[in-house]
Structure 1
């Protein structure tokens, strides 16, 4: 047992675009407030991802008091403002992996901006409260719901896991390659793999499954250029059942506010 404290918090309001670092965050039913509640889709409603379109890394989202501001890191377009209260009228069917459900397109002007920014057809959609997408029942505990995230409301990574990886790399990589929601200090590398349930404040979290990593981790978030690392090195010591694992996917019970400096209290460890 050790002392674990939150060292960083991140949200990614628009799936697969640049994340936002927060000092504190509000835990809601689907995860952290604003996290992956917007998503870019193609003409057929399929989600767009850095896995295939690395240039998405060049679009940075900023949180404003009344909406989102999206800017291109190379300033090739004027920034786009997306109000939180923007009406979404057109309902469309969207797909995230094996899940098909309903979302609402923000508006044509917004979608046109993203089409120009990415150089390909793209529409921005929003997940309304009425849309119910559930966590994979094989790993859910109470029919938890999730936003446009790949599969789970939260991703947790220990700083020591990244430090251990970087010690093996010729050029260290930042945490943003792994797109976590919660980063903590304390313990040994990958100690989060041993946690079953834990609490932060009034919110209880439960480990659903280890996070299988993909080529998105090889995209430099500043340049949008894809390489071989860190996935190549991770595969040498973090492969299990042909999957490269790094971090823990979480589900949760309760709502509240969590903040940098909050202590994580582990209630139960995996057998």
Structure 2
């Protein structure tokens, strides 16, 4: 039997995960997932571990009011409220998307600037300013917050175990930053799914996930592997035109709640 074996939320894009037992869903995926982002103050360009490795050590906990608590070893934590409806808007760029979103304010900006080591701002995306998902996949009105392209990422536990065997070391699931982990399927079974149901919520499987250099960063230490593993192995046997694929991007059709242990049904 297929079941949901793990749930992860990433409140702040490219920072540490929250491991959850249950969580709600809204139009943009898991409640609170990737609703916040760090940007370069001057350019508004988004920041990730791809170029700022220390972000792997930044913890961001989401609260029910939509705010954040940021913390890193050796520094006092900071609580950041959800920006007010009339908060200053900042122009930001994430990949090819340019948009204006609420800025979290100067206190938050000073805290993240000191951590990053250059002028940085913290921004938040409300539902009414969400981006459209990657063109050519899903429906025209599918939306996403600050995740790379789609609201949710699913990986089968057996797929990770197969990759670990090929690499020759036990790999942490969090290298691949999924929201949903499924147990009970064969390795890469998720490649063939088109629609699934978990609890009362249906999900469309819209696109394989192309993997990048982030997979080579140890999520515990933030250290990048010298041998480019596991990306190097993925590129040997999971390469497609857009890159090395591992995991599937999903869009949820409707709201609801998820809980670890729920059965998963493949509908198509």
The reply to whether TM is greater than 0.5 is yes
What corresponds to 1:153 in structure 2? 151
What corresponds to 1:55 in structure 2? 54
Supply the distance in 2 between the matched residues of 1:137 and 1:224 (Cα, whole angstroms).
Answer: 32
Kindly report the root-mean-square deviation, in angstroms, between the aligned alpha carbons of the 2 structures.
1.5
Deviations 1:141-168 (A, max 9, x none): 2411110110100000000011111112
Number of matched pairs: 264
What corresponds to 2:191 in structure 1? 193
5+ residue gaps, structure 1, are: none
1:58-77 aligned within 5 A: 58-64=57-63, 67-72=67-72, 75-77=73-75
Q: Alignment partner of 2:144: what SS?
A: coil
The Cα of 1:95 is off from its aligned counterpart by: 1.1
Supply the distance in 2 between the matched residues of 1:105 and 1:65 (Cα, whole angstroms).
Answer: 19
- What TM-score do you get using the length of structure 1 for normalisation? 0.93
Conserved 8 A contact 2:53-2:222: yes
Deviations 1:92-132 (A, max 9, x none): 11111111111111011101111111212211001123213
What corresponds to 2:266 in structure 1? 266
Deviations 1:187-221 (A, max 9, x none): 11110001011111221111111000000111112
Conserved 8 A contact 1:137-1:143: no
Structure 2 CA distance for partners of 1:134 and 1:121, relative to 1, 3 Å: same
What corresponds to 2:28 in structure 1? 30
The Cα of 1:233 is off from its aligned counterpart by: 1.4
**Given the alignment, which residue of 179, 184, 188 partners 2:182?**
184
What corresponds to 1:139 in structure 2? 137
Q: Which moved more, 1:257-266 or 1:234-243?
A: 234-243
1:68-147 aligned within 5 A: 68-72=68-72, 75-84=73-82, 89-147=87-145
Structure 2 CA distance for partners of 1:233 and 1:191, relative to 1, 3 Å: same
Q: Alignment partner of 1:261: what SS?
A: coil
Answering whether residue 247 of structure 2 is matched by residue 243 of structure 1, we say no
- What TM-score do you get using the length of structure 2 for normalisation? 0.94
The Cα of 1:31 is off from its aligned counterpart by: 0.7
What corresponds to 1:231 in structure 2? 231
